[in-house]
Chain A
Amino acid sequence: MAAVVKEKARPAPAQSRLLMSGNDAVSRAVWEAGVRVAAAYPGTPATEMLEVISTYPDLYAEWSVNEKVSLEVAFGAAMAGSRSFCAMKHVGMNVASDALMTLTLTGVAGGLVIAIADDVGLSSSQNEQDSRYWGRFAHVPVLEPSDSQEAHDFTLAAFELSERFQTPVILRLTTRICHVKGLVTVGERREHAVAGFVKDVSRWVMVPGAAGRRLPLMFERENKLRAEAEISPLNGVEPGTDRRVGFVTSGPAYMHVRESFPDAPVLKLGFTCPVPIELVRHFATQCDQLVVVEEVEPLIENEIKAQGIAALGKDILPRSGELSPSILKPAIAKLLGEALPDVVKITPMQVFPRPPTMCAACPHLGVYYTLAQMRNVTISGDIGCYTLGFGQPWNALDACISMGASMGMALGLDKGRAESEKDKKIIAVIGDSTFMHMGMQGLLDIVYNKGNVTVLLLDNRAVGMTGGQANPGTGRDINGEEVPRVDFASLVKALGVREERVHVLNPYELPKLFKTLREESKIAEPSVIITNQPCVLVEHYKARKPFRVLEDKCTGCGNCVEVGCPAIHVTRRDKVIRPSGKEVERSFVRIESAACTGCGLCLQPCAPDAIVPVEALSMPIHVVKPS
């Protein structure tokens, strides 16, 4: 595979007004801020930041193997005096927090901004945690933009703040910032002189004594930041004529408040941690009652209540999910004893759900078709497209919590099994990128502690779920340049899996996959089955001739439907009584040839050989090979 090196874009000139997503706007500001090092692991809704940053000139960008490493890379650059940037989704900070909780003690030399994108409303995540907690936990400032322009401006402000107070700064984004496009006026790039790394063991080596001496400095810094928040231009009061309710609000919730209550006084907070308590206290005197509108947790609310300021918040607003004018208007109407707006009465029409599916010809289809045939198994799953294996028609994934957890959970399921589960097979399913992110340690633990687990390592050579980004298994870096490629078979052997227990298979060869999986799951020691076919979304995936169904040959057995390929559609369904008296449901099918890429998975379970290549029909009987 030839590497395709991506070209750097020529950034639009300063003062251009551009339609940008929040992610685009942050990326532009990162470039303008003179950042020299930027790192991230892909994760919705943060992914596009590093993708876009990598197209800018004059900086180093990388896909890191996980969020903790990305933060450490950015911190290293900041120690060396460079401005640096790191982006992650909310759950990424759980992984990176070990680094954060101590680098807040050392502080930084060059500016370090950490963008954390919260998936408020769970469009593509396993939980809905509020990243603003990290500001409190790590004693670092948090900025919350409310649209694309602010995402740009606050990023620049965050670097200023970071260098002035020598602290990392968290830029808290949400899905409605990252993925909403609006107009942004952009500026110029300003280079920053890099001082270089200055050796200072009392600052950079956090052994107990040194760390203990840094603690008071961190709290002193926090006090200065609290004073700064009180006078920060990122916070401001917008007076209003209808003073029955005054709103304290931050992030995208501000836009919903402004839209819903144009005449109300609003205290808009952009610098939200530490909370500018005196600013809030003064604002409270200008209105009859205060309502705090924030996504998701009642953080500002609880902190101002603790300071003796009367306010409402989550008492009248939802505890989870996104806010919107259609939620805010009825809640405030109820508070004021007014009639509910009409909006509340509209009910959506009932339509079938459209859950996400795997792609046509996805190599995971063969894996889940096979797993669905296995009996007496518990399947420990992980995070990626293959999480979808829990759903129809496979029902072949039983647990999923966090990146890499399939390994440890599988070992626990093995060691903690009930007497009645003595013969149960434990299978773990994990993708290549997730394995490198946080799964390798779990496999090492399985080997070390003699676990009885069969691991399916689905190597599709990409971070599929987030759009096919490169990883160390791809053999290419973020710029498309060739880099050493991880050899998974050698890697798992090096972790201690015996050579006979390691298999590299083509997941489109169903009989072989089934046989290997059945045999390995019977052997009471760790085995690893690596599937080796690429994601269908990556550039170098080669589609083959599509297939079609011969209608007169299809017996309606429905075996092909069990593959779960979205290119297979049922045209007719009926029920017949077999001679044995058994009632059987039949599903006659067609293949949407335009979507089919000819992987051939559905051919294999087709009993009557009713699936044929589209081309065969139009092919002349005597094929003359070109000389």
Chain B
Amino acid sequence: MTATEILAEAAIAFGHDVKKTEVAGMAQRGGVVSSHLRFGAKVLSPQITPGSADVLLGFEAAEGMRWRHMLRPSGLALMNTGRLVPPVVDIGLFEYPDDPVASVRAAGTRVYSFDASAIAHELGDMRLGNTVMLGAISDHLPFSAEVLEQCILKRFASKKAELIELNRRAFAAGRAAAAKAAASEVA
């Protein structure tokens, strides 16, 4: 939800009207969390109509699969291959899909996938996953990646300098990971 908020701030910086939905309540307790961001000259309904989203940011592998139907046919899915297995799967009531990325691709969607969780883990803080994902989307927006990066770093302005540096690196790593995935997709 914070990631969507930062995207919204960047869109506002470019003069767009924005609406952003949030899901709270039960979702705070490990349930499904989804967030919609719409921006443009004037935004009416805050909800994205299924089959009309330009980009889907999947912060968890199976969640990317869950929301694939929101994308328009030519839309792009940026998927983290990292997994968060819920207790209902652990206790054997449901199966985790074998390969969510392959499933989404097989359904005809263009996917750039990478392990954002591993990148965040290497940088030393799982919370950096959000910034990695924002780095990944930064080259697929109708405005510059640099402004999005500034919107992220601004949030840490009052915090420790090393947090700014870590987020800068996470953003760059996400951007590079998406670019690499895009290149291999073309090849």
A contacts, CB < 8 Å to B: 19, 21, 44-45, 119, 123-125, 147, 176, 179-183, 252, 255-256, 258-260, 324-326, 342-343, 346-349, 351-359, 385, 388, 392-393, 465-467, 561, 564, 566, 568-570, 573, 585, 587, 594
Contacts and interface: CB of A to CB of B under 8 A. Distances in A.
Q: Which of B18, B69, B91, B103 has the most CB of A within 10 A?
A: B91
Contacts of B94: 352-353
Nearest to A121: B23
A568 B66 CA distance: 23
Nearest to A562: B91
B30 interface: yes
B19 A147 contact: yes
Nearest to B50: A346
B12 A346 contact: no
A182 B18 contact: yes
A44 B95 CA distance: 31
Interface residues of B, number: 54
A349 B111 CA distance: 15
Given A19-B5, A179-B24, A343 B51 contact: yes
Contact of A392 (B68, B93, B104): B93
B24 A123 contact: yes
A587 B91 CA distance: 8
Nearest to A262: B44
Given A123-B27, A349-B107, A564 B87 contact: yes
B160 interface: no
A325 B46 CA distance: 10
Q: Which of B26, B45, B65 has the most CB of A within 10 A?
A: B45
Contact of B51 (A182, A346, A570): A346
A367 to B, nearest CB: 16
A343 B53 CA distance: 12
State the 7 A-B residue pairs at the shortest beta-carbon distance, nearest first: A124-B25, A352-B94, A356-B29, A44-B25, A356-B31, A259-B44, A357-B30
A349 B95 CA distance: 14
A353 B65 CA distance: 12
B31 A181 contact: no
Given A349-B104, A351-B65, A354-B32, 7 more contacts: A19-B9, A180-B21, A182-B17, A260-B45, A325-B49, A358-B29, A587-B91
Interface of B: 5, 8-9, 12, 17-32, 43-47, 49-52, 62-63, 65-69, 85-97, 100, 103-104, 107, 126
A351 B97 contact: yes
Contacts of B18: 19, 181-183
Given A180-B21, A256-B45, A347 B8 contact: no
A19 B91 CA distance: 42
A324 to B, nearest CB: 5
A569 B84 CA distance: 10
B91 to A, nearest CB: 5
B164 to A, nearest CB: 22
10 contacts: A124-B24, A180-B19, A182-B17, A342-B51, A343-B50, A343-B52, A348-B68, A355-B31, A393-B87, A585-B92
A356 B30 contact: yes
Contacts of A357: 29-31, 86-87
B45 A181 contact: no
B45 to A, nearest CB: 4
Contacts of B46: 147, 176, 180, 182, 252, 255
B49 A44 contact: no
B29 A181 contact: no
A371 B92 CA distance: 21
Given A182-B43, A349-B65, A352-B62, A123 B25 contact: yes
Given A347-B69, A561-B90, A566-B86, A21 B22 contact: yes
A259 B45 contact: yes
A566 B30 contact: yes
A118 to B, nearest CB: 13
A392 B86 contact: no
Contacts of B52: 343
Contact of A348 (B66, B91, B92): B66
A180 B47 CA distance: 9
A352 B22 CA distance: 22
Contacts of B67: 348
Given A180-B21, A183-B18, A569-B90, A388 B47 contact: no
Given A349-B65, A354-B86, A594-B126, A587 B92 contact: yes
Contacts of B23: 123, 179
Nearest to A570: B90
Given A392-B87, A561-B91, A354 B30 contact: yes
B28 A352 contact: no
